A and B are shown apart, each in its own frame.
Chain A
Amino acid sequence: NAGVTQTPKFRVLKTGQSMTLLCAQDMNHEYMYWYRQDPGMGLRLIHYSVGEGTTAKGEVPDGYNVSRLKKQNFLLGLESAAPSQTSVYFCASSFIRVLIYEQYFGPGTRLTVT
């Protein structure tokens, strides 16, 4: 099993450009999440999904959109990139059992917006 994979691993964008980050998991997990990690800020939740066809906003959703058309994939889109979106983005997935939300993380995508 590959676990959680993310594409691409690195990307440089110019301000105003758009892009989509792809997250895929092969563990049949219901829940999927997108986080961003910035120095000194820990992990902040952008959007999440509790099942195919559902999405919900997290702590810092502005400037991002997501879609979960298939259970195994969770896409994060930036419509018009800004320098403030320079960050490392992590995708995670989890199954829920007895209120245990243990999450499994992908390798991350390092995004720079110039």
Chain B
Amino acid sequence: ELKVEQNPLFLSMQEGKNYTIYCNYSTTSDRLYWYRQDPGKSLESLFVLLSNGAVKQEGRLMASLDTKARLSTLHITAAVHDLSATYFCAGNDQGGKLIFGQGTELSVKP
């Protein structure tokens, strides 16, 4: 069964700094997903990574996938307060299910 682990679980950043969230998964996953959740809100899809070496970027966020290392990263460039949220990664499990990581709570402070 697929297991997905994120680190760090909590991240406090200063505005303007760069940082990376790591997502490790235990077995082969065909796809890797990143979601964002604002406090008290639902989950919003950010990226779907389809294959080894895939890289996707949206604004200050860039996600990548290394299937050989079973690792995905979410890189934050020059953080701004609006990026404060909880970020989840997830991988494909059997039968059309997703397995989610624990989430990384990001707080960007001025």
Chain A contact residues, CB within 8 Å of chain B: 31, 33, 40-43, 45, 48, 50, 56, 58, 90, 92, 94, 96, 99-108
Contact of A56 among B92, B95, B101 (CB under 8 A): B95
Q: Which residues of A contact B97 (CB under 8 A)?
A: 33, 45, 48, 58, 101
Contact residues of B between 70 and 107, Cβ < 8 Å to A: 88, 92, 95-98, 100-103
Q: Are A42 and B48 in contact (CB under 8 A)?
A: no
Q: Which residues of B contact A50 (CB under 8 A)?
A: 95-96
Contact residues of B between 20 and 49, Cβ < 8 Å to A: 30-31, 33, 41-45, 48
Q: Is B50 an interface residue (CB 8 A)?
A: yes
Q: Given the complex of chains A and B, what is the CA–CA distance between A45 and B97 in angstroms? A: 9
From B45, B97, B101, residue with most partner A Cβ within 10 Å: B97
**Closest CB in chain A relative to B51 CB, distance in Å:** 11
Q: Which residues of A contact B95 (CB under 8 A)?
A: 48, 50, 56
Contact of A104 among B30, B31, B45, B92 (CB under 8 A): B45
Contact of B102 among A40, A100, A105, A107 (CB under 8 A): A40
Contact of A96 among B43, B48, B96 (CB under 8 A): B96
Contact of B33 among A58, A102, A106, A107 (CB under 8 A): A102
